[in-house]
Structure 1
Amino acid sequence: MKSWLPIPASSHFSLKNIPFGIISTASNPRHRPAVALGDHVLDLSAFASSAGFNKLSTDLQSNLGVFEQTTLNDFAALGRPYHRAIRQYLQDIFSENTSHEIKTNTSLQKEALLPIADVTTHLPLSIGDYTDFFAGRNHAFNVGTLFRGPANALQPNYNHLPVAYHGRASSVVVSGTPLRRPWGQALPAPGATEPIFRPCARLDIELEMGMFVCKGNVLGEPVALEDAEDFIFGYVLMNDWSARDIQQWEYVPLGPFNAKNFGTSISPWVVLADALEPFRTEGLKNEAELQSYLKEDRKDNILDIQLEVSITTATGNSTTLTRTSSKNLLWSWSQMLAHHTVAGCNLRSGDLFGSGTISGFDAGTHGSFLEQTQGGKVTIKLEGGEERKFVEDGDTITLTGWAGGVDGELVGFGQCVGQILPAISRK
């Protein structure tokens, strides 16, 4: 799929992609929708107001007001057929043989087609609720083995349902937002029984994917598994920052709280579900006999996204820590969504799901420091001679994810970047 707009072959934002986000510029600080395309973004507000969608069917044009909003929630709520039509329209007008005026109209290009380096990105949707799942079975097994041994690594319920907890939506931040090292209660040493209050000493990352819900269901009416795909807007990269020492002390009996609520980073561009449809694969095999509401006929129910994690220390040295794939998930997004609503919970446009940490079994495939260092027992060797057991102040973590790549047709997410700042001073 070739474009008249020069798009680098290495760009995550090929014509096959068309991811949606929210931008602002120095000359126009208002938040507004856009799509990323190579080294440019198309300002959808400016494009719509300049009659750029004049060749769109009349029934679809009636909803173009969604591109005047400051978030993507209203656009998402229109549903996947509308998303599909807009994406197809944009692919058509940027294809090399288009007859659309944007190809030759320099005034329209100047108004609506902006260098990506000149825009600031923001949270793409207003997030009402955030639920973090635990669908990465390799991670669950690796961590369970550290704490309980391989025979008891997975809890009895793990293969029977998509385990999850409700996270904190207010502290989900867009890529590039720095976060403070959290304070909390933690045990000072192995074997201690009384906690102390201190800055987190075992700050970790979790390599995840995030999924945005496009539309809601009625309270009390579960979403059937066969209908769940219709509720998926698109996907982002996610770093679920985790304070392991705080988590260890607080999580019994109700699960993590302050260890997780100080910040979750996501990438700014939402890759639509349709864009990732060609990259489905079969996930990890589940030997359990599932309840009927979780039985999925489709075998290629998992996305195969290539994922990388790198660290850049305060000295400027960068090291790749992890290379893995999102196919290391036991549960599909449709199964997560069906389980989330099976008791009658109502979802809303903009709700965010996290996949849980995505890991392989081998060295260099783990999605957390906890796994890579075997709970802090092993040191990670970095470029420049530095070492890490957990994240230190000044460290920047970068997640990258993409699929495809043949003939410059990457469907990628860009980056999810977060830097850790020192904890606040306390008297």
Structure 2
Amino acid sequence: MPITANDPNRKTWIKTTPNTDFPIQNIPFGVFLTRDDIITIGTRIGDTAIDLGALHQLGYFDGIPLTDDIFLQDSLNDFISDGKKTWRLVRNRIAEIFDEKNNTLKNNKDHKTEVLFALDEIEMQLPVSVGDYTDFYSSIEHATNVGTMFRGKDNALMPNWLHLPVGYHGRSSSIIPSGIPIHRPQGQKLTNGATEPIFGPSRLVDFELEMAFITTDANALGEPIPIEEAEDYIFGLVLFNDWSARDIQKWEYVPLGPFLGKNFASSISPWIVTLDALEPYRTNGPKPLKEQLPYLQSSGKKSFDIDLEVAIQPANEKETIVCKSNFKYMYWNMSQQLAHHTINGCPVNSGDMMGSGTLSGPTPDSFGSMLELSWRGEKPVQLKSGGSRKFIEDNDTVIMRGHCEKDGVRIGFGEVSTKLLPVFKK
């Protein structure tokens, strides 16, 4: 089935700006609270939010096999469960409805009042109910940088790193949408030269520039997903700030890996951009440095050219862009991650989220964490407003953005913006 929604020549009757992240070729999916306090599933074109629940009830999806309440829910999980064919049919239909040549909704004032919302009339929610969340460690530059800091250049990569996508299972209950502030975490830390830990606020709160993909129901218990089929089970991607407390993490992670240093908060952008929308921006990822086992060998362009940036904005000050990176730097691609995740028969469900791991690039300005940008605090990052940062300070806001651009069409993710508040006190 062709992806007609991606037609680069298509124009919309909804007013948009030339550099919008959300042209009619994007059509992402999200969940929002309307001005009438109703939760609905929707999409967005330009700065206009579109209530898909209302659109469906008015008959605009006739001919597509959808349940009556598919968009009248507080998460996208059931819609995602309907599978790739349904996603494509719905997205193609939305593109038709809002095409500048289609007057059906355009000229129906009453229907438009029910369906269309300005962004200041809605409140974005978490788009999926995340049952399980896995975080990978798939940027070779990030893994090499961190390994060099703590083990030296000769032992930077662990022996398994070039053979499999390293990952761990995170905590889904602390995944939050953009705009929700978080508190500085507390925990045990081992200070320099000490032999016993102390308890207190983390002094080394950090961001991690990541993206995450959302899956559909993929396999039964015991059934691996072949790598050549993996993309059929990936709905789309979001921007992902996987917050870290480096001092807490360093003390606790041996032998079982990240725990309290990672599970206090993970922030995502609220609009899921589908894999179909990203199709024109495919590119090759890094070439394998070692021959991979057959179940991990992928062919074709399995990465995407997505420009990414991170900004730090102190309270009442201008922001400073501290990092510019790209999704294509990821060494282990999404198909490899999903194939590896399920090779032992682990089932994957609708709404599961898989983090890419920190997306660092080859140059210092493309490092995707403060740990790398400031090189463990040895090289403070200068801010436009004056001062500098080794790590994230109280009342700083971290903003991540991402977009693709080709042949005059820009597909973006909006942003994920999160403010770090002081330690929680009753």
Structure 2 residue aligned with 1:25, among 19, 34, 38?
A: 34
CA displacement at 1:192 relative to structure 2 = 1.5
Partner deviation per Cα, 1:376-406 (whole Å, 9 max, x = no partner)? 1111110121211000000000000000164
d(CA) in 2 for partners of 1:143 and 1:61? 49
CA displacement at 1:244 relative to structure 2 = 0.2
Find the counterpart in structure 2 of residue 362 from structure 1. 363
CA displacement at 1:142 relative to structure 2 = 1.0
In the alignment, structure 1 residue 172 sits paired with structure 2 residue 181: no
More deviation, 376-385/164-173? 376-385
d(CA) in 1 for partners of 2:141 and 2:415? 24
Contact 2:381 2:388 survives alignment (8 Å) = yes
Output aligned runs, 1:189-200, within 5 Å.
190-200=192-202
CA displacement at 1:424 relative to structure 2 = 2.0
Partner deviation per Cα, 1:223-275 (whole Å, 9 max, x = no partner)? 11111111101000000000000011000011010000000000000001100
Find the counterpart in structure 2 of residue 71 from structure 1. 75
Structure 2 residue aligned with 1:267, among 255, 269, 281?
A: 269
d(CA) in 2 for partners of 1:66 and 1:35? 14
CA displacement at 1:276 relative to structure 2 = 0.5
Partner deviation per Cα, 1:4-28 (whole Å, 9 max, x = no partner)? 111111110111100000000232x
Find the counterpart in structure 1 of residue 310 from structure 2. 309
Contact 2:318 2:384 survives alignment (8 Å) = yes
Partner deviation per Cα, 1:270-289 (whole Å, 9 max, x = no partner)? 00110001111111111212
Find the counterpart in structure 1 of residue 415 from structure 2. 415
TM-score by length of 2: 0.96
Partner deviation per Cα, 1:278-310 (whole Å, 9 max, x = no partner)? 111111111212111101122x11111000100
Partner deviation per Cα, 1:347-400 (whole Å, 9 max, x = no partner)? 110000000000112121111000011111111110121211000000000000
In the alignment, structure 1 residue 148 sits paired with structure 2 residue 151: yes
Find the counterpart in structure 2 of residue 352 from structure 1. 353
Find the counterpart in structure 1 of residue 228 from structure 2. 226
d(CA) in 1 for partners of 2:17 and 2:53? 25
Name the aligned partner's letter for residue 357 of structure 1. T
Structure 2 residue aligned with 1:92, among 79, 91, 96?
A: 96
Contact 1:36 1:116 survives alignment (8 Å) = no
What is the alpha-carbon root mean square deviation over aligned residues? Answer: 1.2
Contact 1:359 1:367 survives alignment (8 Å) = yes
d(CA) in 2 for partners of 1:242 and 1:30? 34
d(CA) in 2 for partners of 1:381 and 1:280? 34
Contact 1:22 1:121 survives alignment (8 Å) = yes
Name the aligned partner's letter for residue 79 of structure 2. F
d(CA) in 2 for partners of 1:308 and 1:405? 18
Output aligned runs, 1:113-262, within 5 Å.
113-188=116-191, 190-262=192-264
d(CA) in 2 for partners of 1:401 and 1:117? 22
CA displacement at 1:64 relative to structure 2 = 4.6
CA displacement at 1:50 relative to structure 2 = 1.7
Partner deviation per Cα, 1:95-144 (whole Å, 9 max, x = no partner)? 11124x11111111111011122110000000000000001111111111
Contact 1:204 1:242 survives alignment (8 Å) = yes
Find the counterpart in structure 2 of residue 38 from structure 1. 46
Contact 1:23 1:31 survives alignment (8 Å) = yes
Contact 2:39 2:72 survives alignment (8 Å) = no
Q: Which runs of 5+ in 1 are unaligned?
A: none
d(CA) in 2 for partners of 1:229 and 1:379? 40
Contact 1:31 1:71 survives alignment (8 Å) = no
Identity %: 45
Contact 1:212 1:233 survives alignment (8 Å) = yes
d(CA) in 1 for partners of 2:40 and 2:183? 28
Contact 1:39 1:117 survives alignment (8 Å) = no
d(CA) in 2 for partners of 1:184 and 1:26? 40
d(CA) in 1 for partners of 2:97 and 2:400? 31
Contact 2:281 2:406 survives alignment (8 Å) = no
Find the counterpart in structure 2 of residue 286 from structure 1. 288
Contact 2:182 2:421 survives alignment (8 Å) = yes
d(CA) in 1 for partners of 2:299 and 2:363? 30
Aligned residues: 417
Helix, strand or coil at the partner of 1:315 = coil
Name the aligned partner's letter for residue 49 of structure 2. V
d(CA) in 2 for partners of 1:88 and 1:368? 38
Name the aligned partner's letter for residue 3 of structure 1. T
In the alignment, structure 1 residue 109 sits paired with structure 2 residue 112: yes
Find the counterpart in structure 1 of residue 57 from structure 2. 49
Q: Which runs of 5+ in 2 are unaligned?
A: 1-9
Contact 1:175 1:266 survives alignment (8 Å) = yes
Helix, strand or coil at the partner of 1:321 = strand
Find the counterpart in structure 2 of residue 387 from structure 1. 388
In the alignment, structure 1 residue 4 sits paired with structure 2 residue 1: no
